[in-house]
Amino acid sequence: MSISRPLNHLSIAEAGKALRAGEVTALALTEAALTQIAEVDPEVHAFVLLTTERALADASKADAAFASGVDKGPMQGIPYALKDIYGTAGIRTTAHSNLLRDNVPSEDSVVAAKLAEGGGVLLGKVGTFEFAIGGPSFDLPFPPARNPWNLDHFTGGSSSGSAAAVAAGMMRMTMGSDTGGSIRGPAAFCGTVGLKPTYGRVSRRGVLPLAYSLDHCGPLSWSVEDSALTMQVISGYDPLDPASAKVPVPDFTASLGQDLAGLRIGYTRKFYLENPFLDPEATQALDAAAQQMAALGALVEEVDMPPFEQFDAACRVIMFGEAYAIHETDIKTRPHAYGRYAYQHLISGAVLSAADYVQAQRLRRELTAAVNQGLLGTFDALLAPNALGTAAPFSDFGPDAGRWGGMLTGPFNVTGNPALALPIGFASNGLPLSVQIVGRPFDEVTVLRIGAAYEAVAGVTQQRPQFALQAKAA
């Protein structure tokens, strides 16, 4: 291939082909990324720590490996960043909190180690909501990330810096985490792809936890293929993560490029129609996405889900109960070290009883059966709403932690199913709209197939905010 576009506009697959053909070096890709970061991050605030020396060293190692005929896989020579809850040996990991402002782990998290072993180029750590909960706080060690489509709007959370960095063209993939929608929500609001894999597909060892039975690790990226290629590197059984599943790692790219003929997709339209936060433009975009998937050969039928309120109650009780258990000592002994938003969310777990938690887990089993044995016993995948509107402005956030309405991501943390956030258009205010594609447990391949087929004809993921267009050709 001949490179006619700025290097930051190449996908992982495109950059990989160019690297292997000798048309570009990992060092050139890294320098282009560092240039883009220098140009746009002073306004976007995605990064909390830039590891320039590490990135240049990683790039040099990748180039040397290529020169020696050593190929470590799809991430070799590719710049990436980690949400600042991923442990990194010798590199500060703060969870965007004063409590861990000087925390330097002695070991890499499993995902960080796999990306390093795969020849990736670590650019640094990107921002999060404090301990992956709370909101866009201004009382923390670092400012909150801003939405590259409109800097007056927030990114969603908690993988806020991850989504902002990808949307602004600083790199093509960042790692996020998802406990109630923290990959898919920011992906929705920032117009990126975001994949929450099946619970247990990717090890969480070494990643600061929020809620053990809901936490997932996954990528945010510019394209479906970029997420698929990342999954190839980070997936796999980890016997030291109690939730890790001993299942084969498939070829996540195997079905990319196929149409949707023969697939049955259940469209959960009634699930959101009465939600008070629904924007009519979101309904139009979701309906259009369903129609497009039908045009690609899928049989798309409307289906019923259990009420959102049941999923939401189960998710919130489990999340806050487990999060409080993790933070109980610090909440009791140094509450003022937390930012206001995170404290207010975490302390809510103190009033939950064991009975509340048990009932939430009981309901969780019933809801999971309704999705997996019911709907996904008939359909290959579900088309579901993600955010029912666009990103709110920072001015909507007051001094106390609130809930931004219209996020319908939590149900699939409750069930653990793989769920892909996919951009489907833009509202009249110029901000992105998104959908979720939900699959059977450990069937990310079908989810990615559907996402890639839609992406190829819709062309939405190829539209970028002005910030992403500032990259200079190398």
**What pLDDT is stored for residue 470 in this prediction?**
62
User: CA 260 → CA 60, 289, 379, 440, distances in Å?
Assistant: 41, 13, 13, 16
pLDDT of residue 404: 72
| Residues 124 and 49 sit within 8 Å (Cβ to Cβ) | yes
Q: Which parts of the chain register pLDDT below 50?
A: 472-474
Predicted pLDDT of residue 474: 41
Query: Which pLDDT score, from 0 to 100, does residue 31 have?
Result: 97
The structure's pTM equals 0.97
C-alpha–C-alpha distance, residues 411 and 232, integer Å = 26
pLDDT at 134: 87
Which pLDDT score is estimated for 1? 55
- Boundaries of every domain in the chain: 7-470
Task: Measure the CA angle with vertex 216, ends 86 and 263; round to 5°.
Answer: 135
What is the model's pLDDT at position 473? 41
Residues with active-site annotation: 83, 158, 182
CATH number of the domain at 7-470, please?
3.90.1300.10
What local confidence, expressed as pLDDT, does residue 267 receive?
98
> What pLDDT does 472 receive?
47
